[in-house]
């Protein structure tokens, strides 16, 4: 199977559902902080924060959303050393005592999330860390599981899942390419 798996309306519905699930699991928004993992996790985190604010008008989406650079925490720096370090922007109140929801586009091996967990511990001590992903494609190499998933897409190892977000790519889509083995 190749082609567009999710279009813009599908992505919008998935993000709305995830926002509601986040609020339900956490019994509101009081301690929530959303941190996007670059590149495409950042605009997804901002969209989730905006949807949470639609449901909970006193949730300040801009003040409770940030970006977590994981470059220096990756376990592949030796094999790919030419990575530029990006910004980490946390809410002014920080993450101590907060429920941090990490947001990423695709969950695959789990290595990116492991790096994000290491980065978080250097930024503060949240009460809890949860994970929201637009796509879970399987093939985990580490014992990491998403708390909130937009779509599970079983893939073969040779297939590729590309997430497009309009903020970066000009359109919203999830595209599967490559052949099945």
117-175, pLDDT tens digit by residue?
999 999 999 999 999 999 999 999 999 999 999 999 999 999 999 999 999 999 999 99
Catalogue all structural domains in the chain, each as residue range(s) with its CATH number: 3-76+89-177 (3.40.50.2020)
Q: Is the pLDDT of residue 95 over 50?
A: yes
Q: Is the pLDDT of residue 180 over 70?
A: no
Coil vs helix vs strand at 168: helix
Contact 129, 100 (CB under 8 A): yes
pLDDT tens per residue, range 22-79: 999 999 999 999 999 999 999 999 999 999 999 999 999 999 999 999 999 988 877 7
The per-residue pLDDT for 145 is 98
Q: In terms of pTM, does the model score above 0.85?
A: yes
C-alpha 94: how far from its chain's center? 19
Q: Is the pLDDT of residue 181 over 50?
A: no
The per-residue pLDDT for 80 is 73
The sheet carrying 32-36 orders its strands as: 65-67, 32-36, 99-107, 128-136, 148-152
The per-residue pLDDT for 1 is 63
The per-residue pLDDT for 78 is 74
The phi and psi torsions of 40 (rounded to 5 degrees) equal -80, -15
The per-residue pLDDT for 84 is 81
């Amino acid at each position: 199977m190749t082609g567009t798996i999710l279009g813009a309306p599908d992505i919008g519905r998935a993000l709305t559902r995830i926002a509601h699930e986040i609020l339900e699991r956490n019994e509101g928004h009081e301690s929530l902080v959303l941190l996007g993992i670059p590149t495409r996790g950042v605009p997804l985190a901002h969209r989730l924060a905006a949807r949470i604010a639609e449901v909970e008008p006193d949730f300040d989406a801009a003040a409770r959303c940030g970006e977590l650079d994981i470059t220096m925490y990756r376990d592949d720096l030796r094999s790919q050393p030419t990575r530029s370090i990006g910004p980490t922007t946390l809410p002014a109140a920080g993450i101590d005592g907060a429920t941090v929801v990490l947001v990423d586009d695709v969950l695959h091996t789990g290595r990116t999330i492991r790096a994000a967990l290491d980065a978080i511990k250097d930024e503060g001590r949240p009460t809890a860390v949860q994970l929201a992903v637009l796509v879970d494609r399987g093939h985990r190499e580490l014992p990491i599981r998403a708390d909130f998933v937009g779509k599970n897409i079983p893939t073969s190892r040779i297939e590729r899942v590309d997430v497009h977000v309009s903020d970066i790519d000009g359109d919203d889509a999830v595209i599967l390419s490559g052949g099945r083995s």
